[in-house]
Structure 1
Amino acid sequence: MTALRPEIVEPDGLADGPDLVHLHESIATLLAARGQWRQAYRHLRSAYDLAFAEQDVRPMVPEQLRREVDRLRREHAEAREQSLRDSLTDSYNRRYLDQRLVSLVAERGGGAELAIALVDLDWFKQVNDTFGHLLGDRVLQNVVELLQVDLPDGAFCARYGGEEFVLVLPDVDAAEAVRIAETTRSRVERHAWDSLAPGLRVTVSMGLACEPPAGDASTRPAVAPEQQLLRADSLLYSAKQSGRNAVAYREGGRVRLAGPASGRRGITEPRVAGY
């Protein structure tokens, strides 16, 4: 049997005077709880109109009604924000990442640069196996906090899946993106992880894909977000296969490692053909 969805009955004709005002307010609260904000505002406005229908001069909006509308707007904004956040780490989720990347690529038509770093925790399965999944969750939360330190305006961190995260750095040139990524990697490595559990050590590897301003004649055409993420993933593979705890990026047609890892031998090439 198909479950019947409860419908909200319009109050017109069911009551009058103060009762009708109260009914509109109650319906507005119910609609807001369902996320139907536009209809909630409409019922609040109806309550206001009914409350002052008999007066010749329309008074200012009552403070109580103003506060109620403000509350609904805040709840709407908070609900939308929560729908775009990862429940464990409070970083942005994959939904927000996909939406924002589409917008950023569209904006790049105006000449903006875009860098994307795909971040993966090294040997995270061993962390879970050795210290337990509850502590593994705390490690993920701490890593996100470290990834978000001193990010430039407009940059953000999103959970890509499992122990993988994405740092999105708009309007940042390649050299600055490498500096930010390497500083972040070092910050994670130097963190006092043994304060969570004796013997705990956590590092991350990164693949950093940088795209120049769209329309730059000296470079390739701009790529779609999926393609840039794929390039970042392949560079992450290079960082992993070249010893982990490193940032891999491309410069002058070659894969390089940032910071202390730059002296390593036998850097692995990405898996994406032609990149």
Structure 2
Amino acid sequence: MALLDRGTAPEDTAGLIQLHQSIAALLADRGEWRQAYEHARHALDIISAERAVPEAPPAVPEQFREEVARLRREHAEAREQAIRDALTASYNRRYLDQRLVALVEQRGACADGLAVALVDLDWFKQVNDTYGHQIGDRVLQRVVELLQDGLPAPAFCARYGGEEFVLVIPGVDGPAAVAVAEAARARVEHHPWSSIALGLRVTVSIGLAYEPPADQRPGATPEAQLRHADRLLYAAKQAGRNAVAYHLDGETRLAGDASGRRGAGVRRAMAH
């Protein structure tokens, strides 16, 4: 659409601005953010063109300023909602996939280590069967809060599916990544779950896949690192659950309180 014909009468210009405003508001109410923003931009372009005429510089209506600001806020909120899980407010699988690709690329450029921890709630089906799905939903929400509570910036938590979550921890070395995952596991175990339902107990198992700085060895793809974390999660389950499993010197180890256990293919971890 053309910005503004220099021969357009002032009343026609005002009407065109109002028309764009009305269309933008209607589209925003319908959730069509991109189209709404385009109409808001058209109106701003018309106002800018009018300002370029020295003899008649129109003022920008305050109501229009507020409308544009509202559209921008709503657009930003819609974008945020598109990358959040509706139940737990953690990031969703879409964001996880996009962010992991970006972090792997950054790792190649700045030689940072990258840890990916796959977290699964132990015996969660029994929680739903015993206490009901409403309690199960509250458990998922609280687990996410606990997982995120001690994460260092710019680490984040994303829902992988069902009762599985992923902690992505960039810019760390191996021992620090293990410490972050073990601290998250311990927070879940020691939380007073009986405050939600009498007799409730919740634990998680974690498989931690760590990729060292890129100058030490070629990094794995995001898909390969997630598969590695999944295999380690299985090892943590096989070793009795409520544990963090990770690789060290070619061996699968268990961290922290679980380090004294043995399981299929799991070696006792060295004391930290």
Partner of 1:24: 20
Spell out, residue by residue over 1:33-57, the C-alpha distance to the aligned partner (whole angstroms, 9 max, x if none). Answer: 3011541332331563588798715
1:235 aligns with 2:229: no
Structure 2 portions without partners, runs of 5+: 268-272
TM-score computed with the length of structure 1 as normaliser: 0.86
1:43 aligns with 2:42: yes
Residue pairs, 1:79-98, within 5 angstroms: 79-98=78-97
3-state DSSP of counterpart to 1:151: coil
Native 8 Å contact 1:249 1:256 kept in 2: yes
Letter paired with 2:231:
S
Native 8 Å contact 2:116 2:229 kept in 1: yes
Letter paired with 2:253:
R
Partner of 1:188: 188
Q: How far apart are residue 268 of structure 1 and its match?
A: 3.3
Equivalent residues, number: 257
**Using the alignment, how far apart are the partners of 2:184 and 2:264 within structure 1?**
21
Counterparts in 2 of 1:50 and 1:196: CA distance versus 1, 3 Å: same
Residue pairs, 1:66-81, within 5 angstroms: 66-81=65-80
**Using the alignment, how far apart are the partners of 2:209 and 2:51 within structure 1?**
61
Letter paired with 1:101:
L
- Which one is further off, 21-30 or 220-229? 21-30
**Using the alignment, how far apart are the partners of 1:26 and 1:128 within structure 2?**
48
Spell out, residue by residue over 1:184-233, the C-alpha distance to the aligned partner (whole angstroms, 9 max, x if none). Answer: 100000001011111100000000000001131xxx41110000000000
**Using the alignment, how far apart are the partners of 1:191 and 1:124 within structure 2?**
16
Letter paired with 1:146:
L
**Using the alignment, how far apart are the partners of 1:134 and 1:50 within structure 2?**
56
**Using the alignment, how far apart are the partners of 2:54 and 2:253 within structure 1?**
75
Q: How far apart are residue 236 of structure 1 and its match?
A: 0.1
Partner of 1:8: none
Root mean square deviation, CA, Å: 2.5
- Which one is further off, 55-64 or 133-142? 55-64
Letter paired with 1:237:
Y
1:153 aligns with 2:164: no
3-state DSSP of counterpart to 1:130: helix
- Counterpart of 1:265 (choices 256, 262, 265) is 262
Partner of 1:211: 211
Residue pairs, 1:121-200, within 5 angstroms: 121-200=121-200
Native 8 Å contact 1:22 1:47 kept in 2: no
**Using the alignment, how far apart are the partners of 2:133 and 2:250 within structure 1?**
41
TM-score computed with the length of structure 2 as normaliser: 0.87
Native 8 Å contact 2:254 2:266 kept in 1: no
Letter paired with 1:241:
Q
Structure 1 portions without partners, runs of 5+: 1-11, 271-275
